[in-house]
């Protein structure tokens, strides 16, 4: 990447020099050289050249735009020697041209890197065959771009039997040398194990002597955010865990922006809103809205709005029937109108939730709300489920745009645990930038997941409900092992 950036910045200088524009011709070679050096230094400072695959293009784009903007501003504002300074007119041309080229070539570089990473995978071993080791296996398997080919576990007392793991346990910590030699292991990830600390330390030191890179999952990984840093007091490391921004003074800013954007969207899309309401009225009659109680921030219950998409259940029906075994249309699919089917596929039935945002009951971005009776059930059996109620529920969110918890098994413990993990990752690492990214990625996610999953019998509606809920809305991070301290892996969001 460094060589590519140097080439791109050199081509910027060549293009400016050959330009027929009078302002461009006045830009000195020293100014362009100073600008290029500043950009490269800022790239290094922002971690652009850090080890690990670059799998998040939007994050790369943000760093490129920030670095080029700061570099050009420095040459305009700061008291640099005249030979290196840029005028305001010159700075804009240099900035936009270099930024455009860097973004274009970096996007091509990321694509090439992903293709190359998928073909050049490093044999990887997990030390610790327990719950966290199994979770790590699941997360790495879902992200082939990491370039890690999992071959198995090492554990003297494995606990993964019956958890659905497809990886074998290849031995205990004493078998490290044999396994590394036999399978050509290049990377080892140490999770939780029943082995003693001394045994794990010996294994890590042995990996170093074998030239095998090592990553470690910290003991308190649940509370570590992306802003975590390490300071050393002599030989004793202290991990600094900064509080989440999704608290204190930042939340009112977020929720104030939510209401402002909701007002703008409702006003700007009033004709579309009216057309959708008329289409629902024409296909189903009144009422236009489907209303259902959901649980939001701090466990508060509110009435969430959607456009109706289905005909009401027959009065004699108490619960929904199981889907037919022969694959014929279910009762739910027969109840859904053609208009309703289109609204659901394109997530347009969620439109009225802008009213919930305006009322202060929901946010534009956050965890999806669930029904009170399901929350009561999930809270008792899903680890950290209630932690997701620290913020307002959202129309879209980090979990939804990545498609987590979709499918027929979305009420299983594994699927619910995934959703909780990603929701809590979003809350603990919240920033205005991550909200902006989610908004940018939502349209693509709607299109990608436009075919909604069939519902599980666990979501059966009571008699008064005119329509089934969307437990895992259609709207895939980096939350897996968010605090994975690593040598060869870099998780970004």
Burial zone of 132 (CB within 10 Å; 0-12 exposed, 13-18 middle, 19+ buried)? middle
Q: What is the pLDDT of residue 109?
A: 64
What integer pLDDT is reported at residue 119 of this predicted model? 52
**What are the residue ranges in the chain where pLDDT is below 50?**
18, 20-24, 53, 162, 315-331, 453-493
Q: Which residues pair with 187 in a beta bridge?
A: 124, 213
pLDDT given for residue 271 in this prediction = 94
Which of 393, 387, 401, 489 minimizes the C-alpha distance to 438?
401
pLDDT digits (tens, 9 = 90+) for 38-77: 888 888 887 777 655 455 667 778 888 888 888 888 888 7
Q: Contact, 307 vs 349, CB < 8 A?
A: yes
Give the SS3 label for residue 474: coil
Tokens for 341?
Answer: 């089917």
pTM over 0.75: no
Q: In this predicted structure, what is the pLDDT of residue 480?
A: 35
pLDDT tens per residue, range 373-425: 999 999 988 989 999 999 999 999 999 898 887 765 677 888 888 899 999 99
471: Cβ contacts below 8 Å, ≥ 6 apart: 368, 370, 374, 410, 411, 455, 456, 459
From residue 392, alpha-carbon distances to 128, 336, 364 in Å are 36, 30, 9
């Amino acid at each position: 990447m460094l060589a590519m950036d140097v080439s791109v910045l050199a081509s910027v200088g060549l293009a400016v020099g050959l330009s027929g524009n009078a302002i461009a011709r006045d830009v000195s070679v020293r100014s362009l050289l100073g600008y290029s050096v500043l950009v490269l230094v800022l790239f290094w400072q922002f971690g652009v050249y850090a080890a690990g695959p670059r799998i998040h293009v939007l994050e790369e784009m943000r760093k490129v735009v920030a670095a080029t903007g700061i570099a050009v501003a420095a040459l305009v504002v700061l008291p640099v020697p005249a030979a290196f300074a840029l005028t305001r007119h010159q700075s804009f041309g240099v900035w936009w041209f270099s930024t455009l080229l860097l973004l274009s070539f970096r996007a091509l570089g990321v694509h090439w890197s992903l293709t190359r990473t998928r073909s050049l995978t490093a044999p990887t071993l997990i030390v610790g065959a327990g719950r966290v080791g199994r979770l790590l296996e699941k997360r790495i398997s879902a992200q082939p771009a990491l370039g890690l080919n999992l071959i198995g576990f090492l554990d003297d007392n494995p606990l993964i039997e019956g958890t659905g793991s497809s990886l074998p346990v290849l031995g205990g910590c004493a078998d490290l040398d044999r396994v590394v030699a036999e399978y050509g292991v290049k990377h080892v990830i140490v999770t939780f194990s029943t082995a003693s600390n001394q045994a794990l330390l010996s294994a890590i030191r042995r990996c170093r002597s074998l030239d095998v890179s090592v990553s470690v999952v910290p003991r308190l990984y649940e509370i570590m955010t992306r802003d975590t840093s390490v300071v050393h007091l002599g030989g004793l490391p202290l991990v600094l865990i900064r509080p989440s921004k999704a608290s204190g003074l930042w939340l009112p800013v977020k929720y104030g922006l939510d209401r402002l954007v909701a007002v703008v969207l409702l006003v700007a899309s009033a004709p579309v809103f009216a057309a959708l309401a008329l289409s629902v009225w024409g296909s189903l009659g009144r009422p236009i809205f489907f209303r259902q109680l959901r649980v939001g921030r701090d466990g508060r219950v509110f009435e969430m709005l959607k456009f109706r998409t289905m005909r009401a259940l027959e009065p004699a029906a108490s619960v929904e029937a199981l889907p037919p075994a022969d694959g014929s249309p279910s009762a739910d699919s027969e109840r859904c109108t053609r208009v309703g089917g289109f609204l659901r596929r394109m997530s347009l039935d969620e439109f009225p939730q802008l009213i919930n945002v305006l009322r202060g009951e929901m946010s534009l971005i956050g965890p999806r709300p669930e029904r009170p009776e399901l929350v009561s059930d999930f809270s008792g059996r899903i680890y950290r489920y209630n932690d997701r109620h620290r913020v307002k529920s959202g129309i879209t969110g980090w979990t939804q745009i990545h498609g987590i918890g979709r499918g027929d098994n979305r009420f299983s413990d594994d699927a619910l645990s995934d959703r909780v993990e990603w929701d809590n990752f979003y809350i603990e690492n919240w920033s205005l930038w991550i909200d902006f990214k989610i908004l940018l990625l939502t349209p693509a996610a709607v299109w990608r997941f436009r075919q909604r999953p069939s519902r599980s019998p666990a979501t059966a509606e009571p008699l008064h409900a005119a329509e089934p809920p969307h437990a895992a809305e259609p709207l895939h991070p980096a939350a897996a092992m968010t605090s994975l301290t690593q040598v060869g892996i870099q998780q970004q969001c």
